[in-house]
């Protein structure tokens, strides 16, 4: 049995309940695909629908629009496990509040923290000041439920239909999660969530010392998988004042993504997962997009 840790207050004890899949119904009349196009690491702007090629289960589709991100639905997931003592937690607090201060009136946000338990930093609709106060009350401790924290962030950041950005910051190995990576990644795809993992000094001597059996490359592989399967980007960072700039750069990059839309043609609908392939008609450009979308059908909740 697994347990749902989504709505636990950050300083409260956990109450065990069975995890259920989120209530989510995909409408296949119109499919949205959140896409980042880069050339030599820089976002490519000014593209139109005609510049993209999208295949649904291998069948080429007609892209009807390639719009910009109108309003950001942002989730921030912060590691507050035992490795986050001292200056690390203070740096993460400031990086988060500085990031939230860059949001616009139409944007929405949610902040989740995890050690071996997971909880909201502030209630939905809270102000940046209230989140800052919640962050100040946090204390580092416990193991690292990275996947459970990511799952909570996906649900908390979902304020309605449309693409979402989830920034997940960690400095350690996932060692206390109940949920498997496959369930978390599928939930992100269902909720149209792009995951940007921020790995802060993952390959430090501290990680190797406390877990000599488990190589840190396992953590990097997990973070890369979450990013690649949801269309995000794996980001490396250091424990210094530049962490806040790293967070803000991710937000700026996300605002330069394209939201492609198409109505499935030539493929069956209501039959579960559909493989997606997105290309751009520009030599040398790199495209990041989620690898699948849910078309409904048996097993849909």
129 and 243 together in one domain: yes
77 and 182 together in one domain: yes
Work out how many domains the chain is built from and give that number.
Answer: 2
Within-domain flag for 247: yes
Instruction: Give tens-digit pLDDT for 200-214.
Output: 988 644 444 444 444
178 and 243 together in one domain: yes
Strands (E), 2-64: 8-9, 31-39, 42-43, 52-56, 59-61
The dihedral through the CA atoms of 195, 235, 67, 109 has a sign that is positive
**Arithmetic mean of pLDDT, 59-77:** 95
98 and 214 together in one domain: yes
CATH number of the domain bearing residue 181: 3.40.50.410
CA dist 262 and 230 (Å) reads 18
Within-domain flag for 106: yes
Which tops the pLDDT comparison, 259 or 22?
Answer: 259
246 and 261 together in one domain: no
36 and 178 together in one domain: no
Q: Say what percent of the chain tops pLDDT 90.
A: 76
58 and 149 together in one domain: no
Instruction: Give tens-digit pLDDT for 163-177.
Output: 999 999 999 889 999
Within-domain flag for 21: no
Query: Three-state DSSP class for 88?
Result: helix
**Arithmetic mean of pLDDT, 281-288:** 91
Domain hosting 88: range is: 72-254
227 and 124 together in one domain: yes
* pLDDT confidence of residue 219: 87
Please state the pTM of the whole predicted model.
0.87
CA dist 4 and 95 (Å) reads 28
215 and 275 together in one domain: no
* pLDDT confidence of residue 203: 60
Which tops the pLDDT comparison, 36 or 217?
Answer: 36
Q: Say what percent of the chain tops pLDDT 70.
A: 84
Which of 239, 254, 269 is the endpoint of a domain? 254
Cα 269 from chain centroid (whole Å): 26
Residue with tokens 């607090």: 93
Q: Is residue 145 a contact partner of residue 176, using CB atoms and an 8 Å limit?
A: yes
Within-domain flag for 1: no
Within-domain flag for 145: yes
Instruction: Give tens-digit pLDDT for 111-146.
Output: 999 999 999 999 989 999 999 999 999 999 999 999
Confidence of residue 29 (pLDDT cuts 50, 70, 90): confident
User: How many C-beta atoms lie closer than 10 Å to residue 58's C-beta?
Assistant: 10
Within-domain flag for 236: yes
Cα 263 from chain centroid (whole Å): 25
170 and 250 together in one domain: yes
109 and 223 together in one domain: yes
CA dist 3 and 254 (Å) reads 32
Within-domain flag for 284: yes
172 and 277 together in one domain: no
């Amino acid at each position: 049995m697994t347990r749902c840790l989504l709505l636990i207050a950050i300083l409260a004890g956990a109450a065990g309940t069975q995890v259920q899949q989120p209530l989510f119904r995909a409408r296949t009349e119109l499919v949205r695909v959140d896409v980042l196009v880069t050339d030599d690491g820089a976002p490519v702007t000014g593209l139109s629908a005609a510049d993209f090629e999208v295949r649904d289960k291998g069948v080429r589709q007609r892209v009807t629009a390639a719009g910009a991100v109108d309003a950001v639905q942002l989730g921030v997931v912060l590691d507050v496990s035992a490795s986050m003592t001292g200056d690390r937690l203070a740096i993460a607090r400031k990086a988060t509040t500085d990031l939230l201060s860059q949001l616009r009136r139409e944007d929405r946000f949610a902040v989740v923290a995890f050690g071996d338990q997971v909880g909201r930093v502030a209630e939905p609709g809270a102000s940046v000041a209230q989140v800052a106060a919640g962050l100040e009350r946090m204390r580092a401790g416990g193991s690292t439920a990275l996947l459970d924290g990511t799952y909570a962030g996906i649900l908390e950041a979902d304020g309605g239909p449309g693409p979402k950005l989830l920034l997940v910051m960690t400095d350690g190995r996932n060692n206390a999660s109940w949920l498997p990576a496959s369930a978390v990644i599928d939930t992100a795809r269902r909720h149209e969530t792009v995951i940007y993992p921020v790995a802060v000094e993952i390959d430090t001597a501290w990680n190797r010392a406390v877990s000599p059996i488990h190589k840190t490359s396992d953590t990097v592989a997990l973070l890369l998988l979450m990013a690649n399967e949801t269309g995000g980007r794996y980001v490396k960072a250091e424990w210094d004042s530049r962490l806040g700039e790293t967070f803000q750069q991710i937000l700026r990059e996300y605002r330069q993504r394209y939201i492609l839309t198409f109505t499935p043609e030539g493929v069956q609908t209501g039959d579960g997962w559909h493989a997606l392939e997105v290309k751009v008609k520009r030599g040398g450009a790199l495209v990041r997009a989620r690898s699948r979308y849910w078309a409904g059908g048996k097993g849909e909740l």
